Amino acid sequence: MSDSIEFDAVVIGAGFGGLRALHDLRKMGMSTVLVDAGEDVGGVWFWNRYPGARTDSEAWYYCYSFSKEILDKWNWSQRYPTQAEMARYFEFVTDHLDLRKDIRFRTRVTGATWDDVENVWTVRTDNGNEFSCRYLVSAAGPLSKPYLPDFPGLDSFTGDWYQSGFWPTDEVDLSGKRVAVIGTGASGVQIVPVVAHSAAQVTVFQRTSNYVLPARNRPIDEAERDAIKADYDNIWTRARQHFYAMDLPICENGAADYSAANQQRVLERAWEIGGFRFLFDTFNDVWLDGPANEIASEFVRSKIRAIVKDPETAELLCPRYPLAAKRPPCGHSYYEAFNRANVSLVDVSENPITEILPGGLRTATDEYEFDVIIFATGFDAITGPAEGVDIRGRDNRSLSETWKTVPRTYLGLAVHGFPNFFTVAGPLGPFANGPTMVEQQAEFVTATISFMQQNGYEAIDPNTDAVDAWVRHNEEVLEGTVLANAAVANSWFLGANIPGKPRGILAYFGGAGNYFDRIHEETTSGFPGFTFSSPAEAASETLAAHS
Compute the least distance from the CB of residue 82 to ligand N01, in Å.
10
Amino acid 220 reads: I
- Per CB under 6 A, 348 contacts ligand N01: yes
Q: Which residue blocks in 182-321 are alpha helix, DSSP H? A: 186-198, 222-230, 232-241, 260-273, 277-280, 291-307, 311-317
- Residue 160 near residue 173, CB atoms below 8 Å: no
Helix, strand, coil distribution of the chain in percent, nearest 5:
40, 20, 45
- Asked whether position 186 contacts ligand N01 by CB under 6 A, the answer is yes
Q: Given the complex with ligand N01, which of 264 and 354 has the nearer CB atom?
A: 354
Which of 149, 359, 502, 510 is the binder for ligand N01 (CB under 6 A)?
A: 149
**Cα separation, 361 vs 205, whole angstroms:** 11
Report the residue from 30, 181, 182, 374 that binds ligand N01 according to the rule CB under 6 A: 182
Q: Cβ 146 to ligand N01, closest distance in Å?
A: 8
Binding mask 358-397 for ligand N01 (x = CB under 6 A): ------------------xxxx------------------
Residue 425 Cβ, how far from ligand N01 at the closest point, in Å? 12
Residue 184 found at the interface with ligand N01 (CB under 6 A): yes
Q: Does 507 help bind ligand N01 (rule: CB under 6 A)?
A: no
Residue nearer to ligand N01 on the CB measure, 94 or 208:
208
Annotate 450-502 with DSSP letters as a single string. Answer: HHHHHHT--EEEE-HHHHHHHHHHHHHHHTTBGGGGTTTTT-GGGTTTSTTPP
Residue from 187, 297, 333, 481 binding ligand N01 (CB under 6 A): 187
Query: Which of 378, 400, 381 lies closest to 389, judged by CA?
Result: 400
x/- site string to ligand N01, residues 308 to 327, per CB under 6 A? Answer: -------------------x
Applying CB under 6 A, among 49, 177, 207, 240 the residue interacting with ligand N01 is 207
Cα–Cα distance between 102 and 104 in angstroms, integer? 7
Q: How far is the CB of 80 from ligand N01 (least distance, A)?
A: 8
User: Restricting to residues 43-62, which ones interact with ligand N01 according to CB under 6 A?
Assistant: 55-56
137 vs 382 by CB, closer to ligand N01: 382
Closest CA to 192 of 50, 32, 356, 37: 50
Is 203 a binding residue for ligand N01 by CB under 6 A? The answer is no
CB of 63 to ligand N01, least distance (A): 13
Binding residues for ligand N01 restricted to 107-146, rule: CB under 6 A:
143
Which of 31, 46, 29, 140 has the alpha carbon at shortest distance from 90? 46
> Which residues does 421 contact at the CB level (< 8 Å), separation at least 6?
112, 114, 121, 135, 136, 137, 138, 391, 393, 414, 415
Strand partners, 421: 136
Q: Minimum CB separation from ligand N01 for residue 277, in Å?
A: 15
Helix (H, G, I), strand (E, B) or coil at 228: helix
Consecutive H or E run containing 364? none
Among 13, 490, 504, 512, binds ligand N01 (CB under 6 A): 490
- CA torsion 113-466-427-461 (nearest 10°) is -20
Query: Which residue lies nearest ligand N01, judged by its C-beta?
Result: 185
Minimum distance from CB of 182 to ligand N01 (Å)?
5
Residue 102, amino acid: D
Report the interface residues with ligand N01, using CB under 6 A: 55-56, 143, 149, 164, 182-188, 205, 207-208, 327, 348, 353, 376-379, 490, 492, 497
